[in-house]
Structure 1
Amino acid sequence: MSSGEHFNVILVGAGISGLGIAHHIQEQCPAKGFVILEEKDTFGGTWDTFKYPGIRSDSDLYTFGYRFKPWTGAPVADGEYILSYLGDVIDEDKLDDKIRYNHKITGANWCSQAKRWTIDIFHKDTGENSQLTCDFFIWSGGYYDHNQGYTPNWAGLSDFKGDVIHPQFWSEDTDLSGKQVIVIGSGATAATVIPNIADDCEHVTMLQRSPTYFWTGENKNELADRLRLLEVPDNCVHEIVRRDLLQTQKEIQHASAQYPEYMKQEFLKGVREHVGDEITKQHFTPSYKPWQQRVAYVPDCDLFNAINDGKVSVVTNHIERFTENGIQLQSGEILEADVVITATGFNAIPIGGIPYTVDGKTLNPADAFTYRGIMISGFPNFAMMFGYLRTSWTMRVDLVADYICRLLNHMDQQQHKVVTPTLRPQDADMNRNSWIDEDEFNPGYFQRSGHLSPSSGDYEPWRFSPDYYEEKDQMPLFDLNEDALQYQ
C-alpha cells in the first residue's frame, strides 16, 4: 500500500454536497489545500447514478440549486440539466483538478499523535490500494448506498419469469415496447417513471402498499418569467424567486404541522381536480399527516394525465407473493406482468458505512450523538453533510459549508489543531433518540437504518434540526467556543 499526499481537507463525493462545500472552502478558506475523492468515474453523484426514464428533481431548482449559482431553466429539471449545472460549477470554480475519480474510500483512521486522518483508498480503475492523509475529513458523499437499492424480500420473487428492474440500476437498452408493466411504489420515483414509460408499454399498473401526498402544477415559475421579461439580472431573479419559494414552502410546512387535517384536504383537492373523487379516495389519500414524508411533485400533471388516458391504472394493496406471470395480492387478485419495476427506495448508510478508528479503536456512529447534525461526538476533526428533507437538500449545503469554513478559520486564528465534540458530565444521562423523530419525518429508509445512525439528544447541541427556517438564523450564530467543543 502506497502512502500519498497530505491535504488540509479531504471531501467525499463530487455530487451536489461535495461540490457545494468545495466552492465555499475555496472562497472562504483560500489557504486550505483540499481534494475531492469520488468513487465513480464522473461527477454528479445521484444525478449520474439514476438513469431511469424521466429522472428529474423533486424540488424546484431555485432552492435545490446553490445560492451562488443562478438557475435559469424550468423549476423542475431533468437529470441531464442538473448534471450540466454541476458541470458548470466545476468549470467556473476550476475544481476539475481537485477531483480524484475512481477513488473508493474503504476506511478512515485518526492518529492523535500525528493529529491527522489517514484515508484508505481502493482505486477502482487500477485495482490498487493507497492512502492519503488530511487534517480535517468531511463526509459529503450522501446518505444512501449507490451500489444496492432497496428491494423487499417478497415471497416467490425467484418464481417470476419476467424481468425485475430496480430504477437505481436502469439499463439504457431496456425495451418495454408492448409489455405489461407493474411499477411497485408510490413516491417520487414511481411518479416519474410511470408517465415516461406509459406510451411505450401495453399497459402500466402502479402498485402501491399505501398512497403518497402529491401536488401538481405547470412546470414554470410565473414570478421568474416576469422578472426575466423585465430584464432583471439572473442572479437577482434567482435570489428573489428563491426567497419567494422558501416563504411559500415555510407557510405550507408550518400549516401542515399546525392544521394537518386542513392541509390534507388541500392536497387531496388538487389531486381530485385531475382524477376525480373516487380514484383520489381509493388510491391517493395517505394515512399519515402531510409532510411526515416528502410530498411528491407531478409537473404538468403527467402522472394524472396518463391515468386519465387509460394508459396507467392504480392498485392499492399488499403483495402476497410473486407468481410465474405476475403478482398475487393479499386480496386474492392476480396482476399479470412481463416486467416488474421495483421503485421501492434505497438503503441508507450513515457516513458511508466505512470503518472509522481513533488510535486503533473502532468508532461506531451508532454509539455516538450528532453535534448539531454537522459533527459527531468523539470524532476528531470530522464533519458530515446531511441536508434537509422537506426543504431542498442544497439549502443546508450552503449553511453547513459556511459553518465548517467558520470553524476552520477559527481554529487557525486560535492555533487549534484538533476539535472534537465531546459529551459533558451533564450529558451523561441524556436519552438516545432517533436522528429525526418519527412524528416529524418517517420514510421507510429512515426506519430501516435508524439503528446505524448517530443518536439525537434531548437538547442542543446534541440534535439535528430538520427545519431550514430555524437553522438559517441560528447556524451563523452557533458558538464555536461552547463547552461541548474540545480543542487541542
Structure 2
Amino acid sequence: MTRHVDVLIIGAGLSGIGTACHLIREQTGRSYAILERRENIGGTWDLFKYPGIRSDSDMLTFGFGFRPWIGTKVLADGASIRQYVEDTAKEYGVTDHISFGRKVVHLAFDRATAQWTVTASIEATGETETWTANFVVGAMGYYNYDKGYRPEFPGEADFQGQIVHPQHWPEDLDYTGKKVVVIGSGATAITLIPSMADKAAHVTMLQRSPTWIQALPSDDPVAIGFKKTRVPDSIAYKIGRARNIALQRASFQLSRTNPELAKKLMLAQVRLQLGNKVDLRHFTPSYNPWDQRLCVVPNGDLFKVLKSGKADIVTDRIAKFTEKGILTESGQELEADIIVTATGLNVQILGGATMSIDDEPVKMNETVAYKSVLYSDIPNFLMIIGYTNASWTLKADLAAAYLCRVLNIMRDRGYSTFEVHADPEDYADESLMGGALTSGYIQRGNGEMPRQGKRGAWKLVNNYYRDRTLMHKAPIEDGVLRFSKTRAAARPDEQVANA
C-alpha cells in the first residue's frame, strides 16, 4: 500500500525537524511525514559519539530561530544538541510523523500528475515501501553517513595497535593510560585532543598543515548577565542571536577584506594563551582565515593541555605506519597504542539516493541552485545545505520559511507545481560549496555537488543578511520561480498519511 502526504521530508536532523515545525507554525495546512534512516532523531548529533563531540558554532545561532536555546554555554555537547532537537520535535508534535529506519533509495517525479513517488528501504527487514508526495524536502545533509573519509596509509598492516575513525567511534574504546596519535587538524581533532588528554598517557595531534583557531569563552558573559537581571529567555535569545550573527559576519568580512590583520589578531590570541610554550608555526596556516572554516576552542581547552604537557602538536607528513606508531617524513617516530584518523568526511548528495523525472535520470551535479535551496528543472523539490561560514541552522531556518511562503501562495492561487529553469548564462563552474572554502572534503566532493550560478539569486554568497532579504522579503513570483496548475487524478490505492 502506498502512503501519501503533501510534503515528504527526508531526514530528522536539525533541517528536517526545523522544516516540519515551520510547516506547522506558518499554517500551511499541509500534511507531512519524515523518513529517517536512523532509529533516533538528531542526524549528525545521533551519529557521532567520539569524546567531546560539540558544536563548532555558537548555540544562539545554531539553535532554531523560533525556539530559544536556553543556557549560557557558547558551544554545546552533542548529546545536549540532540536532546534539543528531540525536545523541539515533541513540542510541535512532529515525533509522531516520523518513520524511522527508512533509507530513501529513489525519488521519481511525474509531471503529468505533479507528484513524487519515493521508494524507501526498511533497514531492519530489507523490504521496500512506497510514499507519494506533492513536494519533497531533502534534509539529509551532504555527507556519507556510512563511511567517513579514510585514506590508506603505507604500513598500516604493521601497526600493532588500534586504528579508529571518529565517525565510527567504538563505544567500548578504553584509552586510559594509552598513547594516542590523532591524525588531522580540523574541528574533530581539536575537540578530541583536550577531551582525551585527561585519561590518556599522552595525546599527539599530527597535522599535515595547521588550522586557524579561535578561542571563545565557555560561557557567554552577556547571556550570564541576562540571567542575573532576569531578562525573559525569548528576549535574551533574540538579542544574543542578532549580536552573534553580526559578529560572525564581521569576522568573515574582515578575513576577506583584510586577511593580514585577521591573521595578526588570531595569532596574538594564540600567543596570549600559550606564551612561549608552543611554536606558533603549528598555528600558522599557509591559507587565509576563512579560506577554511575556523576551529573554535571553548575556554582555550586545547591550549591548556598543550601547556600542561599532556598533549603536543607535530606538523609533518606521514611516511608510513610502523609496529609502534607512525614514522614521519622528517624521521620522527610517534609511538601510539591508538591512532585516530580524524581525516574528514565523504560528500554524498541525497543520502546516496537516485532521482528521476519522467523516468529520465537526474544528475544533481548538473543542476544549478536558485537561492541555494531550489534546483534547476527539478519541480516541487527543495534541498537544504547550511552555511559554511556561519551556523548551519541559520540557512535551514531561512530555507524552511521560504518553502512555507511558496506553499501558501500555491494554496491560495491553486498552483500545483513550482520550478526554476537556468539559462546557459546562469551556469558557473563552481559547485554550491565551491568558492567559499578550500577544505579538503569540499574539494573532494566538488564533482558531486550542484552548481551555483554567476548572477543574481543563482549566485551563492553565504551572506545571511542577503539571504534573509531574498527568502523572506523578495517577491515569490519573481519571473524565475514559475508556477503551473496540473489536474492530477487521485490514486485509489493511496492512503493519506499523517504520521
Q: Shorter-chain TM-score: what band?
A: over 0.9
Q: Following superposition of structure 1 onto structure 2, how do residues 212-251 of structure 1 map, counting pairs within 5 Å?
A: 212-251=211-250
**How far apart, CA to CA, are the structure 1 residues paired with 2:42 and 2:188?**
18
Counterpart check, 1:167 vs 2:166 = yes
State the partner residue of 2:491. Answer: none
Residues 236 and 111 of structure 1: is their aligned pair in 2 closer, same or farther, counting only changes over 3 Å? Answer: same
Secondary structure of the 1:18 match is helix
**Distance in structure 2 (CA, Å) of the matches to 1:428 and 1:395:** 29
Amino acid aligned to 2:379: P
2: CA distance between counterparts of 1:272 and 1:448?
Answer: 33
Please report how far the alpha carbon of residue 431 of structure 1 lies from its aligned counterpart in structure 2 after TM superposition. Answer: 3.6
Using the alignment, how far apart are the partners of 1:350 and 1:13 within structure 2?
A: 12
Could you tell me which residue of structure 2 aligns to residue 365 of structure 1? Answer: 364
**Contact 2:10/2:35 (8 A) holds in 1:** yes
> How far off is 1:197 after superposition?
0.9
Give the stretch that moved more between structures: 466-475 or 293-302.
Answer: 466-475
The alignment status of 1:432 with 2:429, answered yes or no, reads yes
Q: Please tell me whether the aligned partners of residues 249 and 463 of structure 2 are also in contact (alpha carbons under 8 angstroms).
A: no
Looking at structure 1, the residues matched to 252 and 101 of structure 2 have their Cα atoms a distance apart, in angstroms, of 40
Alpha-carbon distance in structure 2 between the residues aligned to 1:459 and 1:323: 52
Aligned length: 483
Change in 2 beyond 3 A, CA 1:467/1:428: closer
Q: Distance in 2 between matches of 1:391 and 1:430?
A: 25
Q: 1:35-46 to 2 correspondence within 5 Å?
A: 35-46=33-44
1:206 maps to 205
Name 1:376's counterpart in structure 2.
375
Shift of 1:187: 1.3
Deviations 1:113-171 (A, max 9, x none): 22111101111123211110000000011111111111112222233221110111112
Q: Once superposed, which parts of structure 1, at least 4 consecutive aligned residues long, lie more than 4 Å away? A: none
Q: 1:389 corresponds to which residue? A: 388
Aligned match for 2:479, one of 472, 480, 483 = 483
Cα distance in 2 for residues equivalent to 1:351 and 1:215: 33
CA distance in structure 1 between the partners assigned to 2:457 and 2:190 by the alignment: 38
Could you say if the C-alpha distance between residues 457 and 277 of structure 1 is closer, same or farther in structure 2, counting changes exceeding 3 Å? farther
* 2:469 is aligned with 1:470: no
Tell me, what secondary structure is at the counterpart of 2:146?
Answer: strand
Could you tell me how far apart the structure 2 residues matched to 1:431 and 1:50 are? 34
Cα drift, residue 322 of structure 1: 1.5
Q: Which residue in 2 is equivalent to 1:450?
A: 446
Bigger relative contact order (CA 8 A; separation at least 6) = 2
Q: Residue 276 of structure 1: CA displacement?
A: 2.8
CA distance in 2, matches of 1:471, 1:436: 15
The structural deviation recorded for 1:470 is 2.1
Instruction: State the secondary structure of the residue aligned to 2:482.
Output: strand
**Paired amino acid for 2:430:** N
Q: How big is the shift at 1:319?
A: 1.1
Local SS of the residue matching 1:145: coil
Distance in 1 separating the partners of 2:16 and 2:433:
23
Which stretch has the larger CA shift, 110-119 or 428-437?
428-437
Q: Secondary structure at the match of 1:267?
A: helix
Which residue among 42, 54, 62 is the counterpart of 1:56? 54
**Alignment-derived partner of residue 398 in structure 1:** 397
Gaps spanning 5+ residues in structure 1: where? none
Listed as ranges, the matches of 1:411-430 within 5 Å are: 411-424=410-423, 427=424, 430=427
With normalisation by structure 2, the TM-score equals: 0.94
Return the alpha-carbon distance in structure 2 between the equivalents of residues 423 and 51 of structure 1. 41
Change (3 A) 1:449 1:239: same
Distance 1:379 1:324 in 2: 53
Q: Secondary structure at the match of 1:279?
A: coil
Structure-2 separation of matches of 1:450 and 1:479: 31
Separation in structure 1 between the aligned mates of residue 167 and residue 283 of structure 2, nearest angstrom: 25
**Partners of 2:18 and 2:78 in 1: CA distance:** 18
Shift of 1:328: 1.5
**Which residue number corresponds to residue 492 of structure 2?**
none
- How far apart are the structure 2 equivalents of 1:242 and 1:407? 26
Aligned mates of 1:337, 1:92 — CA distance in 2: 47
1:464 CA displacement: 2.5
Identity %, equivalent residues: 38
Is residue 459 from structure 1 mapped to residue 455 from structure 2 by the alignment? yes
CA distance in 2, matches of 1:92, 1:250: 31
Once structures 1 and 2 are overlaid, which stretch shifts more, 145-154 or 204-213? 145-154
The yes-or-no answer on 1:352 pairing with 2:364 is: no
Q: How does 1:30-429 map to 2 (within 5 A)?
A: 30-73=28-71, 74-277=73-276, 279-424=278-423, 427=424
Alpha-carbon distance in 2 for matches of 1:238, 1:250: 18
The residue that corresponds to 1:28 in the other structure is: 26
Question: Residue 429 of structure 1: CA displacement?
Answer: 7.5
- Output the amino acid matched with 2:449: S
Distance 1:363 1:138 in 2: 16
Check conservation: 1:321, 1:329, Cα contact below 8 A.
Answer: yes
Q: Which runs of 5+ in 2 are unaligned?
A: 485-499
Q: Normalised by the size of structure 1, how large is the TM-score?
A: 0.96
Mapped partners of 2:126, 2:83: distance in 1: 30
